[in-house]
Structure 1
Amino acid sequence: MATCRANGLSLDYAENEAGTGIFKEVFVQRVYADFFPFFEKANLYKKADEDLLFETGLAFANASRDRGWDKERRRIALSIFTNLTRLNPEDMRYPYQIALIYFDSSMNDGKIEGVDPEGYNDQNKAMLILGDILKREPKSVPVKFAKANFLYQLGKTKESELEYKSIKSLLEDFKKNGVITEDLKENQSYKNVLKNLEKLQHPANVP
């Protein structure tokens, strides 16, 4: 029976064909690369298991980022999330992950000592994807936060401020309509949006 041995763990593919039992260990120890053979073999057993494919895509993306956005792992992660988008176009988690990879790898590429830049330039692709997601899910707070953050990193502070104001209004509406039940002062998203607005509106006051 085929097995994968890494970090003292021996995994039987047949017994772990769903692939979920080991993911906690992988993400805690950040040993993604050691388990790539297991991910690939497990996917042969559960070709249509979206959750397994999603976790595999995250593992490849994290491993790529840990290596200064290694090109091959980045490519595999993007391929997995692209195929998941085709498999289930209604699930916005998949294009959202593509946008995060495109943007983060383009902004941080090559900043790890000893790692040559790969020349990624996909910021615009990331913004287009977020825009399309928000057309379908205009009240998605995580996606709106990502858009505001992307705009800020691109130096578009006015646009970023407008997006954060939009998030603030949306959260206040959620509170009014009972979607948020806790006091807004205790809501982490609301606290984050206030902090980011303060940084944008009064940068001199932010340490």
Structure 2
Amino acid sequence: MTFPQHADETPPHECVEPVEDMLGDSVLEVGGPTAHDLSEPLLHLDHNEWDPVKGRAAPKVLFTFGREDDLDRDAVKRLVASLSRLLEPGEALASTAAGDLEFVSSVPFGGTYVLDHLWRRLRIDKIVGQVGQPRRGRRRDMSVFSLVANRALAPSSKLAAADWVTHDVHVDGLPATDDNACYRAMDWLHEVSDDLEKRVFDEVAMIGLIWPRRE
């Protein structure tokens, strides 16, 4: 099939239909030489531009994908992934999600994930559970961890830390917290600071002795 030299002109006697399930309104499905010949349609990435001569918007072909039956779908996936990097993560997800799905929200997770694993690798979670009154258990451990994570990733006051945990970040095991929980955690830290600091120091020093050094 031969196309005209000007990319913004549709080939004569072609049947042009938009393909809505690939890249929205930007992909055209171009049929064969006649309107009845759709056996081997071609796919084009196009952009509508105003044509002052014709007095209407006309599609300008930006890229040709080739025949639909010979489409390189892996190349299309790579193109979509490359374009998605220009968007915010939430926008990229919303633009590629199925029509029956609705994007609600997203929050960062990487920073707290790394700190949580380091927290456990240093056994600080176990130490926190052993110091003071053990009946508070996991909830107290996560409240203390959330304050430490907030100080490391987004330093703020205790009041702001509670809002940060609840709305701005994902802390595994602590979907939400409040001001009172943060104040109780701080009061508990003041009560056990000497014992807690000594245990954490001993644990970290021991791990430093047994971890192999990398050249």
TM bucket (normalised to shorter chain) is: under 0.3
Normalising by structure 1, report the TM-score: 0.20
Structure number with the higher helix fraction is 1
Structure number with the higher strand fraction is 2
Max Rg structure: 2
Structure with the bigger RCO (C-alpha within 8 Å, sep 6+) is: 2
Normalising by structure 2, report the TM-score: 0.20
